[in-house]
Amino acid sequence: MGDLIRRSAADLATALRSGEVSSVEVAQAHLDRIAAVDGAVHAFLHVCTDEALATAREVDARRSAGDELHPLAGVPIAVKDVVVTKGIPSTAGSKILQGWIPPYDATLVERLKAAGMPILGKTNMDEFAMGSSTEHSAYGNTHNPWDLDRIPGGSGGGSAAAVAAFEAPLAIGTDTGGSIRQPAAVTGTVGTKPTYGGVSRYGLIALASSLDQAGPVSRTVLDAALLHEVIGGHDPRDSTSLTDPLPDLVGAARLGANGDLTGVRVGVVHELNGEGYQAGVRARFEEALDLLRGAGAEVVEVGCPHFVHALAAYYLILPSEASSNLARFDGMRYGLRVEPSDGPVTAERVMGATRGAGFGDEVKRRIILGTYALSAGYYDAYYGNAQKVRTLVQRDFAAAFDQADVLVSPTAPTTAFKLGEKLDDPMAMYLNDVATIPANLAGVPGLSLPSGLDQGLPVGFQVLAPARADDRLYRVGAALEMLLEQRWGGPLLAQAPELAVTA
C-alpha cells in the first residue's frame, strides 16, 4: 500500500470503485503519511483522524451495500483553515480564532461530505489569507517539500505543501490575489481559481469579498477538474454565486489530455512577462509556449496596458474590504478575548486589546491601510479610484479575449524564496502576486500547473480564461501537462527530493 499516497485522486477513485482498496485503507495511508512527514513540513494545523476514518468506514459500508456513490467517494482531502468546518477548529491561521469551533459547515464542505470524501485535516495559511509565503501564520511556518528551508507560497501554502508532500491527493484552497495559484507554482502542484461566483463563498472566512474564491489544489489537472465539479455550482446562500451551470470541466480535461490544441489561440500577456521575473522562470515559460505551438495552438502577443496598475488597485480594494470583514473579531462573541492590562475594563478597551494581541503584523497593516482608504475625505482618491482601475483591467481582459481563447503567463515572478527572506519588506512580498492579481480583479478564472524546474525548484505556468469559461483552463492545462510529462518521463513531483520520514 506504500504507493497509495503517490496515486492521483482519479486513480484512487478507480481503485476504490473496483474494490482494489478500501476507503479506510486510503484514509489511513494518508494519515500515516501525515504522521511521518508533517513534523517537518507543518502543512496541517489540525488532523481529523477520527472524523476522517469515520467517513471512510461509512463509505465502505455504503459501497458494500451497493449504494450509488459519488465518483470521488472515499478519496480523502485536506481543507485550508480559512474554510469553516462544523465541530472542527477553524482558525484562519490567526490567534484571534484560536480554538474556535464553528457550529456550521461551509457549503463546499457540505458538498465534500455529500460526496463521501474524508476530511484529513485543516491546513496552514497566512493569517486571514493575507500573504504570499504562509510566514504570516500565527501557528508557525509551513515548509516547501522541495526544500524545507523555503516558503511553500501563500496564503495557501499548507494545502499546496500537503498535496506536494503526498499527505493528501487533493486539497481545498482559496485565492484572493493568487493564494491558490502561486503556492501551486512554487510547490510543483496544480491549482485553480474558478470564475468569481463559480464556487460558493458561504463558509469562507472572508478576506476581500469581491475577490475571494475557493478552488481545487491537486497534483494533476484532471484531479483539479474532478474536485472543481464537486464544489462548484450555484448556492442560494451566496448572493454573488453564479446561477449558470458549470461547463463540462472533466470532459475538457480529458479532451485536452489528447494533446491536440489545433485552432486554440493562446495570448501571451505582454505586461505579465517582463522585468523582475527570474530568468529560469521566463525560460520555462518560453519552452512551454513551444510545446503549445507544437500541439497546434496559435500563440499571439496581447497587450493589457492597465495591468501595471492592478497591484496598486488590489492593495487598496483588498485592505478596504478586509478592514470591514475583520471588524467582527472583537472578543465579544467568540474567539480570543483579552482584557487591557491596566485601566478600566470596558467593551471598547477589550476590543482594542483583543485585536492588538490577536492580529499579526500583516493583518494590522492591511486593516489600517483599508481604514485609511475608506475614510471620509480619502474614499474617492483611494477606494473609489481603485474600483475604476478594476473597470480598466476588466476592459483589458475583454479586449484580449477577443484576440485569444486563453491568456498565459508565468504564474509567479520567482521560484520559492527562502523563509525569512522577504519578511522585512512588505512591498517586495506583494510583488509575488503581480501575475495572479489581475484575474481576481476581473473575476476571470485562472489555473497554474507545473512547467518545470529552475535550479531545482518548481516553476508554474498560468492559464487564464474568460469568465464562465473555466473549461478552457482544463483543456489547455491538460494538454500542456501531458506534453510536459511526456518530456519529463513522468510527473514533475517525481523529481522532488524524498522527505525524511519520522518513524
Contacts with other proteins in 267-306 (CB under 8 A)? Answer: 306
Residue 377's alpha-carbon distances to 367, 373, 383, 389, 417, in angstroms, are 18, 9, 11, 19, 39
Respond yes or no: is residue 364 known to be catalytic.
Answer: no
Candidates 280, 394, 454, 495; binder of other proteins (CB under 8 A) is 394
Footprint of other proteins on 200-219 (CB under 8 A): 201-206, 208-211
- Which of residues 101 and 399 has its CB atom nearest to other proteins in the complex? 101
Candidates 39, 64, 104, 494; binder of other proteins (CB under 8 A) is 104
Nine cell digits for residue 84: 469553516
Respond yes or no: is residue 241 known to be catalytic.
Answer: no
Give the amino acid at 87. Answer: G
- Which of residues 190 and 269 has its CB atom nearest to other proteins in the complex? 269
- Residue 28: count of CB within 10 angstroms of its CB: 19
Among residues 115, 111, 135, which one has the least CA distance to residue 124?
135
- Nearest distance from C-beta of residue 431 to other proteins, angstroms: 10
Catalytic residue among 22, 80, 241, 323: 80
Candidates 71, 93, 102, 152; binder of other proteins (CB under 8 A) is 102
Distance CA 229, CA 221 (A): 13
Instruction: Outline where 48-133 has alpha helix (H).
Output: 49-64, 107-114
Distance CA 414, CA 459 (A): 8
Footprint of other proteins on 430-469 (CB under 8 A): 441-443, 467
Footprint of other proteins on 311-330 (CB under 8 A): 311-313, 315-316, 320-321, 323-324, 327-330
Q: Total residues contacting other proteins (rule CB under 8 A)?
A: 97
Specify the DSSP class assigned to residue 490. Answer: S
Give the amino acid at 142. Answer: T
Respond yes or no: is residue 179 known to be catalytic.
Answer: yes
Candidates 2, 50, 262, 333; binder of other proteins (CB under 8 A) is 333
- Nearest distance from C-beta of residue 58 to other proteins, angstroms: 23
Among residues 8, 465, 5, 494, which one has the least CA distance to residue 247?
465
- Which of residues 299 and 312 has its CB atom nearest to other proteins in the complex? 312
Asked whether the beta carbons of 462 and 180 are under 8 A apart, the reply is no
Distance CA 197, CA 194 (A): 8
Does position 84 interact with other proteins (CB under 8 A)? The reply is yes
- Bridge partner residues of 119 (DSSP): 77
Footprint of other proteins on 351-390 (CB under 8 A): 351-353, 355-357, 359, 361, 364-365, 367-369, 371-372, 374-376, 379, 381-390
Residues noted as catalytic: 80, 155, 179
